[in-house]
Amino acid sequence: MPPSPETGSADTGVIHDIGYRGYAGPRLGRSYATRSLFVQSLRAAYGLGRSAKSKVLPMLVLGAVTAPAALLVAIAIVQQADDLPTDYPNYLANLDLVVSIFLAAQAPVLLSRDLRHQTVPLYFSRPITRADYVRAKFAAMVCAQLLLMTAPLLVLYAGALLGGMSFGHQTAHFLYGLVTAVLYALVPTSVALVIAAATPRRGFGVAAIMGWLAVSTAVVGIVVGIASGPKSTVPDSAQWVALLSPNALVESLSNQVFDVGSAVVRLHAPGAFGAVVFAATAAAMVAGSYALLLRRYRGI
């Protein structure tokens, strides 16, 4: 029996070809996706690819760490000095406040925003795993910190060579500075990322990281100041307090290993045993923080 005009035919469906085609190109896989996330995160740390407002703080901090280096080089060249007014690791130690501001402001940019906007599960719907995500974000923030501290070292080194200073001495101490910069980029950054990953609120993350860095540094300064007394000489028994602050830990380890440091109150790891303990503490802090990050994202 034919269908009535009121009901129509049930067999009138039409398939329209609107030109969709399956992807037949190469599959780039997890490694490419992880590298892309790393590059995007590194750019985001400096505000690249974002609004002009996001670039203000990173560029100001970059200028604040490089301008004094250029000034020191100019003074040394004008005075025809045989060496720079400061050593490379010591210059980095004097930048701890400025670098801490950059770290506190930008670490939540890499992690807290993804948590707040709930975009983390979208990353995991792609080929990358949770370990890939953590690896990319961790490496991006470490590299951002390292670039920030390497820039003034290059200014100092290039200026020293242009000023006719000893190539061998400057190269050796420049390498000391690079090793110190790597430590500064790893130790404080690792814990800061754990703090940033703990909250989806960027403001809370910034306050928590800056508070942790400022309070730990202040505690070390107070204890060292009391222990040094009027002679400004810190006994070895008081040097262990530097383990409480990541910035002081790196400064103490660098001063002891490379035999540098010209501050009135010189921090240093107490002897060879102290250097081993400080190095082990730094390694444990980085490895433990990375493990905590992996654990944090396993639950997302």
The pTM (predicted TM-score) of the whole model is 0.86
Whether 248 is covered by a domain: the verdict is: no
201 dihedral zone (left: phi>0; alpha: psi -120 to 50; beta)? beta
Residue 143, SS3 per DSSP: helix
Nearest-angstrom CA–CA distance, 176 and 255: 10
- Would residue 92 count as lying in a domain? yes
Tokens of residue 200, six digits: 């989806």
pLDDT digits 0-9 by tens, 127-161 = 888 899 999 999 999 999 999 999 999 999 999 99
Give every residue of the chain whose pLDDT is below 70, as ranges.
Answer: 1-12, 17, 23, 230-232, 262-264
Q: Is residue 149 part of a domain?
A: yes
Average confidence score pLDDT of the chain: 87
Reference 45, options 154, 136, 153, 121; nearest CA is 136
253 occurs within a structural domain: no
Domain presence at residue 132: yes
Residue 99 in domain: yes
| Residue 243 lies inside a defined structural domain of this protein | no
CB 96 within 8 A of CB 247: yes
pLDDT by residue (tens digit) across 250-299?
999 999 999 887 666 788 888 899 999 999 999 999 999 999 999 988 87
How confident is the model at residue 196, as a pLDDT? 92
pLDDT at 271: 87
Does residue 254 lie within any of the structural domains?
Answer: no
Its domain, for residue 166, covers 29-210
Q: Classify residue 15 as left (phi > 0), alpha (psi -120 to 50) or beta.
A: beta
pLDDT of residue 2: 55
pLDDT of the residue at 136: 93
Cα pseudo-dihedral 214, 220, 225, 228, rounded to 10: -160
Query: What is the tally of structural domains in the chain?
Result: 1
- Residue 7's pLDDT is 52
Distance CA 31, CA 141 (A): 18
Residue 174: Cβ within 10 Å count: 18
Within 10 angstroms of residue 123's Cβ, the number of other Cβ atoms is 19
